[in-house]
Amino acid sequence: MREGIVIPVDGPAGSGKSTMAKAIADHFGLDYLETGALYRAVGLMVLDRGGDPDDAELAARCAREMRFECRKTPQGWRNFLDGRDVTQALREERVSDAASRVSAFPPVRQALLSFQRSYKERRGAVVDGRDIGTMVFPEARLKFFLDADIEVRIQRRFRELRERGIPFDEVRLGGAIRARDRRDRERAAAPLLAAPDAVRVDTSDRSIDQVLASMLEKVREVYGEVIEAP
């Protein structure tokens, strides 16, 4: 019954989209795909091969060759590249930068499209990213677009790194986040954009629980009993 249900959750880095998408997936027992991790994995592959993330041809080749999986484990949702758990490696700053570069190339995006679309044939899924509601699943009945003030999003990233004990330079990292944000919004291929029919959620001054409650309510409103079934 739930096959074919796919819920796009789009938004910029630090908007809370992955946190929310995972929580919605767990709540209803749906599958989950973090598409940012797909682009990050392409970036990591390019770097591992000693390549330049601005090399469009190499990036497209990596995207075509990549075997990626987002799987739920006892440690939570983890990302696997060619069978290797790369969840942690994908968060490195150099990989964030590479991902933002490779994701601007249309052949890279094209190569990742059918994998993303295959999630529709599964047991229902929540998919987070930048263009899920506009390009990947524009037909989805319910789609979310999360956003938050850029300063709030930068502070969230700082807090995350502090909690994990990772040292960083506030000025440099703040600048890098702003630059990536601009690149994601201004690029020609699938720029970050809310679908006209997306439910917009501003997470700047609301707690995770508040945002999640409102999103779960919306999902129930649209999908009703179908989604509650195990």
Give the interface with ligand DC as residue ranges (CB under 6 A).
13, 35-36, 39-40, 99-100, 103, 129-132, 180, 184
CB 105 within 8 Å of CB 60: yes
Give φ, ψ of 7 to 5 degrees. Answer: -115, 105
CB 75 within 8 Å of CB 85: no
- Shortest distance (Å) from residue 14 CB to ligand DC: 8
Q: CB-wise, 100 or 203, nearer to ligand DC?
A: 100
- Shortest distance (Å) from residue 189 CB to ligand DC: 8
Q: How far apart are CA 134 and CA 143, in angstroms?
A: 9
* Residue closest to ligand DC, measured at CB: 36
Q: How far apart are CA 175 and CA 186, in angstroms?
A: 16
Q: CB-wise, 99 or 146, nearer to ligand DC?
A: 99
- Shortest distance (Å) from residue 225 CB to ligand DC: 30
Q: CB-wise, 52 or 221, nearer to ligand DC?
A: 52
Q: CB-wise, 130 or 143, nearer to ligand DC?
A: 130
Amino acid present at 144: F
Q: CB-wise, 23 or 227, nearer to ligand DC?
A: 23
Distances 126 to 17, 93, 102 between C-alpha atoms, Å: 11, 26, 24
- Shortest distance (Å) from residue 40 CB to ligand DC: 5
Strand order in the sheet with 76-81: 68-73, 76-81, 84-85
How many Cβ atoms are within 10 Å of 15's Cβ, its own excluded? 26
Q: CB-wise, 41 or 215, nearer to ligand DC?
A: 41
- Shortest distance (Å) from residue 104 CB to ligand DC: 8
CB 223 within 8 Å of CB 24: no
